[in-house]
Structure 1
Amino acid sequence: MTATLSVQNILQRFLPGQPLDSHRRKVCARLTACRTARMGGMEMHCDHCQTRSICYYGCRDRHCPQCQGRTTAQWSARQRSLLLPVPYFHLVFTLPHTLNGWIQIHPEVIYRCLFAAAWDTLSQFGRNTRHLGGELGMTAVLHTWGQNLSRHVHVHCLVPGGVLTDTGDWNKAKNDYLFPVRALSRRFRGRMVSLLRTSANAGDLHRVTHSVEIDDVLNRLMHQEWVVYTRHCLNQAESVVDYLARYTHRIAISNGRLLSMDGDRVAFRYKDYRDDSRIKTQWLEGQEFVRRFLMHILPKGFMRIRHFGYLSNRTRRRKLAVIRHCLSQPPQLEATTERPTSQRCWPCPHCDDGLVRMIRQVPRFRTVVVPTG
């Protein structure tokens, strides 16, 4: 079973009986139907060995471990045209586990505040003339999990090492850590608590029913040390995109980390960062595995990859042209993801000598419920 074990198998076995809202029910339906007859597909024919086979479509859901490879490749191709010939910095802003209860009932509010607090923190430091004195750019990716599938909400940020000034000049980063980590942590803590208090006053945290709980939690948060991780990342353009792509379309757990399913228990591999990043094995009851997996399904329509500053979609083309002029880099065209007009073909998996082409569409298989009585 180890060779074929997947998140899809586990959901098919242990999902029945789990309480699901309509959004999670639809997501799980797509994940369990992925690359099966329920999705439909294509009948393929090899021009060499004459073998016919059926290839079923993927669900393309962003939570599906089987559908992220192609999406990651397409995203990477687009991002390569946006890279600058400068060092990049990787920063991670992490929320304390004290907020896990609020995240459970108001995920969209907390995630939105996290993005805003991280960007406000970095942009304020970038605008400070003592540091750089201009506008930063940032690509941020939300992750909600730890290696053992527990709730661990944080945002990964990739920041080019420099700012665009108001006069149209480029100021490069002055050191190998971008900004002081302790100062970043305290600014991030204050900004996040302020945004949460504003959200509470606006009624966005209406599911927190105890009136004194909000003040108690926020006051407790201000007395905790918050974690901001920063490191000088990479200086080669191609490596930067590959590095970031590992984070952008990562899901809570990939099929490659699953080890075995023994009875009602599931084993998977994880990295224990508190123990010198040693690789360990975690055993969970099947129901608990599914419960933890469902925790990390994002709210419907929530954007987990966002661009800020001179990398924001609205002004990116114009501002990157100015920066490239300052850096004497030739202008580059943004990559597109248009599909080729020619008929697609692939190497034959059976004979390795021919090419397989689609000869017909296979319609979706729909289960017909026969009424009884």
Structure 2
Amino acid sequence: MMASSLTVQTILDQFLPDEPLDGHRRKVCARLTGCRTARMGGMEMQCDHCKARSVCYYGCRDRHCPQCQGRASQRWSDRQRALLLPVPYFHLVFTLPHTLNGWVQLHPEVLYRCLFQAVWNTLNQFGRNTQHLQGELGMTAVLHTWGQNLSRHVHVHCLIPGGVLTGRGEWHRAKSHYLFPVRALSRRFRGRMVSLLRASSNAGELHRVTNSGEVDDVLNGLMRQEWVVYTRHCLNQAESVVDYLARYTHRIAISNGRLLSMEGDRVSFRYKDYRDQGRLKTQWLEGREFVRRFLMHILPKGFMRIRHFGYLSNRTRRQKLAVIRQCLLQPPQPETNRVNQEPHRCWPCPRCDEGLVHMVRQIPRFRIVAVPTG
């Protein structure tokens, strides 16, 4: 099977493992394999000119689904445009050492929570203590758990407006092209993350790590390593900022566009090898190994992978952004309409190209049950 017809949905249908999955992953897989099929229900459409009828099935809207994230990304982008400031933006990436991958497998909620906390604590302290800033940063952070070859590679992408809001309601702009020194960020991040993990262990939250002395050995070893932080001055054009970030917010482990072929029980896909100057290469995996890697990146139920901090946090964002815009002499932004309105369900007819297709009836969905695993 070639790329034109190969999808993650097809691969899951064929190679889901025989051994039982946990309930959350079963439900996610059921939604992904049922996406835009009769199981999801849909609409029967008819052209008002040529009278041709067609069926359009609904998407699953699961955040792990490659077929549904394009529209979700666009909707998110539209909402975020009202939050843009007329300042440069900085892109930072904080990476968790691969030494902790085993703990991520055992306690993903704990590790991911600590990662967000460590990143924000690090940047917040730098924003408040840097001599020319001394105020509150704003940050949008997005969790990614994968590398290009679907391996586990846990990191957080951060997009930060270039400046802080002081306690006196003043705006102090960032003067550096890299925001903060990378090595200093790395060491502060390392210390904070290790401290949070040690506290989590003392509170019994890492109870699945059962080897005697493992927690102390791992954390002491991590303090002797250099941790990876990437930072760059990314964009000046405000409209480009949201489009830039949207590519990260709704990215999933692998998109259908990267799949190349399926031959027998093997699957190939395209990836960038960043250790080889970002060259495009082809990865071949056994079908079951592909599925195993894909399932590694299903997030815990209810876990928020996109978070806002500082003056961009949901609680105080409206008030603080108004103060910042006043400092920057920017006119107030129009309120985003959050009311979910029913779309006008008609489209140009693809057959006659003269009429409009309208919905004539709803097609009920089947009850989505767990994907069989035996």
Following superposition, the deviation at residue 351 of structure 1 comes to 2.5
Following superposition, the deviation at residue 50 of structure 1 comes to 1.3
Following superposition, the deviation at residue 69 of structure 1 comes to 1.2
Distance 2:81 2:297 in 1: 29
Distance 1:228 1:311 in 2: 22
Distance 1:33 1:11 in 2: 11
SS at match of 1:140: strand
What is the one-letter code of the residue matched to 1:26?
Answer: K
Residue 11 of structure 1 aligns with which residue?
12
Task: Tell me if structure 1 keeps the 8 A contact 2:31–2:368.
Answer: no
Following superposition, the deviation at residue 349 of structure 1 comes to 2.1
SS at match of 1:159: strand
Distance 1:348 1:125 in 2: 56
Alignment of 1:10-159 (within 5 A): 10-159=11-160
Worse-superposed segment, 73-82 or 334-343: 334-343
SS at match of 2:83: coil
Task: Tell me if structure 2 keeps the 8 A contact 1:82–1:334.
Answer: no
Distance 1:351 1:132 in 2: 61
What is the one-letter code of the residue matched to 2:310?
Answer: G
Residue 212 of structure 2 aligns with which residue?
211
Distance 1:366 1:214 in 2: 44
What is the one-letter code of the residue matched to 2:313?
Answer: S
Residue 220 of structure 1 aligns with which residue?
221
Following superposition, the deviation at residue 49 of structure 1 comes to 1.9
| 1:168 counterpart = 2:138 | no
What is the one-letter code of the residue matched to 1:334?
Answer: E
Distance 2:44 2:303 in 1: 35
Residue 316 of structure 1 aligns with which residue?
317
Q: Deviations over 1:297-323 (max 9, x none)?
A: 000000000000000000000000000
Distance 1:168 1:241 in 2: 25
Task: Tell me if structure 2 keeps the 8 A contact 1:126–1:133.
Answer: yes
Distance 1:232 1:254 in 2: 27
Residue 352 of structure 2 aligns with which residue?
351
TM-score (normalised: structure 2)? 0.96
Alignment of 1:234-273 (within 5 A): 234-273=235-274
Q: Deviations over 1:154-201 (max 9, x none)?
A: 000000000000100000001100000000000000000000000000
Residue 371 of structure 1 aligns with which residue?
none
Alignment of 1:273-292 (within 5 A): 273-292=274-293
Distance 2:21 2:55 in 1: 32
Worse-superposed segment, 183-192 or 358-367: 358-367
- Provide closer, same or farther for how the CA distance between residues 366 and 84 of structure 1 changes in structure 2, counting only shifts above 3 A: closer
- Provide closer, same or farther for how the CA distance between residues 130 and 26 of structure 1 changes in structure 2, counting only shifts above 3 A: same
Distance 2:368 2:74 in 1: 34
Task: Tell me if structure 1 keeps the 8 A contact 2:30–2:368.
Answer: no
Alignment size in residue pairs: 368
Residue 186 of structure 2 aligns with which residue?
185
- Provide closer, same or farther for how the CA distance between residues 341 and 31 of structure 1 changes in structure 2, counting only shifts above 3 A: closer
- Provide closer, same or farther for how the CA distance between residues 361 and 235 of structure 1 changes in structure 2, counting only shifts above 3 A: same
Distance 1:58 1:111 in 2: 28
What is the one-letter code of the residue matched to 1:119?
Answer: W
SS at match of 1:191: helix
What is the one-letter code of the residue matched to 1:255?
Answer: N
Residue 325 of structure 1 aligns with which residue?
326
TM-score (normalised: structure 1)? 0.96
Task: Tell me if structure 2 keeps the 8 A contact 1:88–1:159.
Answer: yes
Task: Tell me if structure 2 keeps the 8 A contact 1:139–1:306.
Answer: yes
Structure 2: unaligned runs, 5 residues or longer: 370-374
CA RMSD across the alignment: 1.3
Task: Tell me if structure 2 keeps the 8 A contact 1:74–1:337.
Answer: no
SS at match of 1:4: coil
Task: Tell me if structure 1 keeps the 8 A contact 2:142–2:157.
Answer: yes
Following superposition, the deviation at residue 225 of structure 1 comes to 0.5
What is the one-letter code of the residue matched to 1:287?
Answer: R
Distance 1:332 1:80 in 2: 9
Task: Tell me if structure 2 keeps the 8 A contact 1:271–1:279.
Answer: yes
